[in-house]
Amino acid sequence: AQSVTQLGSHVSVSEGALVLLRCNYSSSVPPYLFWYVQYPNQGLQLLLKYTTGATLVKGINGFEAEFKKSETSFHLTKPSAHMSDAAEYFCAVRYSGGGADGLTFGKGTHLIIQP
């Protein structure tokens, strides 16, 4: 069985400050990891993904994440927050070959950007 834990249901940062959203996973087989963003009243948009290869993954809107197997983590970062980054962020996992099983999501982190 696989699971995802996102630490902090709400994270507040100042505009221009570092954004760090934490995600830890549990999986008995090598995982595929994803970060999605959801703006109010909209669907989910893929920010970035890790499947194999380079453990530092760059995504859209200046976000990146690093897969650390030893820590079972896939934390999302952005060097400088922008007001438009305010949204709900979801970490998700599935395993290779498990596409038909769907994604297992964390509970989400609401990112608040203070001016």
Partner 1 sequence: DTAVSQTPKYLVTQMGNDKSIKCEQNLGHDTMYWYKQDSKKFLKIMFSYNNKELIINETVPNRFSPKSPDKAHLNLHINSLELGDSAVYFCASSQDDNEQFFGPGTRLTVL
Beta-strand relationship, 87-95 and 73-78: unpaired
Q: Of 12-20, 29-37, 53-61, 65-73, which part binds partner 1 (CB under 8 A)? A: 29-37
- Selected binder of partner 1 within 34, 63, 67, 74 (CB under 8 A): 34
Residue 16 CB, nearest approach to partner 1 (Å): 27
Sign of CA dihedral 100, 75, 70, 24: negative
Residue among 2 and 17 whose Cβ is closer to partner 1: 2
Q: Is 36 in the site for partner 1 (CB under 8 A)?
A: yes
Q: Is 90 in the site for partner 1 (CB under 8 A)?
A: yes
Size of the site for partner 1 (CB under 8 A): 25
Virtual torsion, Cα 1, 57, 11, 73, nearest 10 deg:
40
